[in-house]
Amino acid sequence: MDSYERVMAALDHRVPDRPPLNYYGTPETDRKLLAHLGLDSREALLRHLGADMRYVGAKYVGPSQFCGAMGYNTASGTDMWGVGWKPVSNDYCTYYEIVHHPLAEAQSMRDIEAHAWPRQDWLSVDHFKQQIDAFNEDQRYAIVFSAGPFLETAWAMRGFERFLMDLIDVPEIADLLLKKVVDYHLELFHRAVDAAEGGIDIVWTASDIGMQTGMMFSPQVWRDRIKAQHRRLVEPFKRMGLRTRYHTDGNVVPVIEDLIEIGIDLLDPIQPGTADMEPENLRDRFGGRISFYGGVDTQHLMPFGTVEQIERQVVRLIEVLGEQGGYIAAASNAVQPDVPVENILALYRTAREYRYPLTV
């Protein structure tokens, strides 16, 4: 199988030749791996690891006073939504944290409408066809596009605590804010699919709704306020025949049935150490109806475990979640630069060399 066929088999709940693989690390981790392996590009790194997915993203081409499309984890300054960011560094890497919420003081729906909302022409997707053709020159990969975190964009504009209160106390403000963000992302999705001329295989929505102890809000609040907006980002592309992926950390078991209902094909990242998200529970309750991604623990196992422990965890996840196909092997979140190189390579080597008992 080539990479595209392998990923599609997993999403169709068919057993591929080996589990599909995906790699996502911080820029510092990328540089560490490139130096260790003597490679000169991220594409060379992905090929070395055996990654089966490739990603296309919109380019910011808007006014220079903004630092980019979201500012999320990428740059300091004010992004095109009006959210302010600053760099925060530790001993290993730099992340970007929110320091300004432009709608924190909004009191009415009129205040939300009056905000200086970004324009579609501030993001360019004109390069997609050429980029996808380059990815697929030697073999076909599964091509993924994400418009960005829709729910997180909304609360970043309002402030996390204030947005959570809005969901209960002023739901009309939460609804309007989320609708405006989703409107933008939905149009961007359509533009991206058109520009790719059939080259995009998976549309990826993202926004955390879970914590390690449970959901960030009650499942019913999610159903009342957020579910319909998420459905808007999924259903048009399901009707086109595209596959759909959703990223959320934490325990989201209470709404996985809902995610299946709105058309999610792939749930990522399966965060270890969260109640009810054990691989056996996910397989028994949802196996064959939604595919799973990730699960190799980046919080404890990857930085502090041994190569042998990582190998055992990878095989366990493949054999439990991938029992009927339906699993893409990866870390449970971005691989951090404090993870030993040998542990990273163990994850990908183990999954790459695994062969299912029955192949197609």
State how far the alpha carbon of 268 is from the alpha carbons of 22, 120, 194, in Å. 11, 28, 26
- Contact residues for 201 (Cβ-Cβ < 8 A; gap 6+): 4, 7, 8, 142, 143, 144, 242, 243
Token readout for 132 is 């996808």
User: What's the CA gap between 263 and 266, in Å, rounded?
Assistant: 9
The pLDDT score that the predictor gives to residue 359 is: 45
Residue with tokens 């963000």: 181
Task: Band the pLDDT of 360: cuts 50, 70, 90.
Answer: very low
Fold of 3-62+120-353: TIM Barrel (3.20.20)
Domain boundaries, the chain: 3-62+120-353
pLDDT band at 71 (very low <50, low <70, confident <90, very high): low
Structure confidence by residue, pLDDT tens digits, 191-210 = 999 999 999 999 999 999 99
pLDDT, greater one: 75 or 87: 87
- The token pair that represents 88 in the structure block: 């925060």
> Quick one: tokens of 289?
């109806």
Q: Would you give the DSSP letter of residue 206?
A: E
Residue 56 has pLDDT above 90, yes or no: yes
- HEC string for 175-187: HHHHHHHHHHHHH
| 68: pLDDT strictly greater than 90 | no
pTM above 0.85, yes or no: yes
